[in-house]
Amino acid sequence: MDDLDQSADAIPCADQAAAPLEQISSLLHEAGETRHHVFRIVDGADDDWASWYADWLTNLSELPALLGVKPVRSELTWLLVSLDKEFTATQSGEPWETYYARKILGHFSPQGH
């Protein structure tokens, strides 16, 4: 009976892999909404948006816990700018948050380096 109870509570590997992706995607969405509120007076205009996101994600969110490492802010800033260019060029059709989350997770995973 213990084996059945444990297997019923087990999360399949695909779900385990998807969970951090979805959580990071949600954090990116939250960061976007927060930034929109902060910069509402200038209608969101901010040429240094990536630095703001990187600071918020590394210091005010659960991103370091989800990645298992606290990203260096400048590295995350560089990655966000690169992802913006890549996302704009590829026009993948998926939400930007999901696209960025997958790339961020891959970049900062032990296999990503």
CB 24 within 8 A of CB 105: yes
Among the residues of the chain, which ranges form H helices?
A: 2-9, 13-38, 49-59, 63-67, 73-90, 96-108
31-69 pLDDT tens trace: 888 777 666 665 656 778 899 999 999 999 999 999 999
pTM attached to this predicted model = 0.76
Domains in the chain: boundaries: 21-112
